[in-house]
A = this chain, B = another copy of it.
Amino acid sequence: MKVRELLIEDRDDVLEMLKACGSFTEEEISVALEVLDEGLAGGLQGDYPLFCVEIDGRVRGYVCLGKTPLTKSTWHLYWICVHPEAQGRGAGRALQSHAESFVRERGGERIVLETSGQQSYERTRLFYKSAGYKEVGRILDFYKPDDDCVIFCKELKRRA
């Protein structure tokens, strides 16, 4: 398993992954692709740095992040997606950990992310909690009725 920059030639793998996940609506996929294309155009110095995890020569997960506008040292993690066939093998963890190192290296001090409060996202929320993210807010019915937005934040401690 190898984490590296996501490149333009990986775009088809990403599209397949987003569809295979089954948990994204068409609108979500379309927004994800919009941000993806902006991220691919800007590269690692742009507004949406992108990394992927490669397993057996195929891209099986990716993460999209970005510095939060109007903040001094806050970043957002916009998207982590892992192909269902590759889940449970640490790909998500590898992406999240790589994203955090990238943010730290650029002086970032915290990462904020939003996810769904639905039952089907419980594994996702546990994933973030076990990685040190704390719930700092909740907006009831945000996405749709009975689908809250849960806001998580992780403070990135300075390394000695």
Contacts and interface: CB of A to CB of B under 8 A. Distances in A.
Interface string A116-160: 000000000000000000001111111111000001010100000
A27 B70 contact: yes
Contacts of A141: 74, 109-110
B27 A144 contact: no
Interface in A69-87: 69-74
A72 B151 contact: no
A143 B72 contact: yes
Given A138-B136, A139-B136, A139-B137, A144 B72 contact: yes
Given A31-B69, A137-B138, A139-B153, 15 more contacts: A25-B70, A28-B70, A31-B70, A71-B142, A74-B139, A74-B142, A110-B139, A110-B141, A112-B139, A112-B142, A136-B138, A136-B139, A137-B137, A137-B151, A139-B151
13 contacts: A31-B70, A70-B143, A71-B143, A72-B144, A72-B145, A110-B139, A112-B142, A136-B139, A137-B139, A137-B151, A140-B153, A140-B155, A151-B151
